[in-house]
Amino acid sequence: MEGAFTCDRIETLQFLTSQAAISIENARLYQETENYQIVTKNHNGKLSCHSAVGEGAEFVIELPVKAREKHSAAQRQKS
C-alpha cells in the first residue's frame, strides 16, 4: 500500500520507537542496579565479569557464608 504514511508520520514513528527502546533499556538497567544492590548490600556479596574477545564471558557472584550464619543466628534469636 504505497503512500500510507507521509514522511512526517514515518519520522514521528521512528522517534517514538527509538524512545520506547530507550525506555526499555533504562528499565533493564534499573533492574540490574537493584539486583546488584541486593547482592552487594544485603548479602555482602561481589559481582564480577571476566571477558575476552572470542572467548566469551564469565559472570561470577560471590556470597559470603558468614552472612548466612549471621542471618541464621538472627532467626534463632527471634524464635
Pair (37, 50) in one structural domain: no
| Those residues with Cβ within 8 angstroms of residue 62's Cβ, 6 or more apart along the chain or in another chain | 45, 46, 47, 48
Q: Which three cell numbers stand for residue 50?
A: 571476566
Residue-wise pLDDT tens digits, 6-64 = 999 999 999 999 999 999 988 988 888 888 888 888 889 998 888 888 888 888 889 89
pTM: 0.47
Domain count, the chain: 2
In Å, how far are 15, 22, 42, 50, 76 from 39, measured between CA atoms? Answer: 37, 26, 6, 18, 23
Which residue segment(s) compose the domain that 15 sits in?
A: 1-42
Chain-centroid distance of CA 17 in Å reads: 21
Q: Are 59 and 52 in contact (CB under 8 A)?
A: no
Pair (1, 38) in one structural domain: yes
Pair (26, 59) in one structural domain: no
Q: Are 63 and 69 in contact (CB under 8 A)?
A: no
Pair (33, 58) in one structural domain: no
Pair (51, 78) in one structural domain: yes
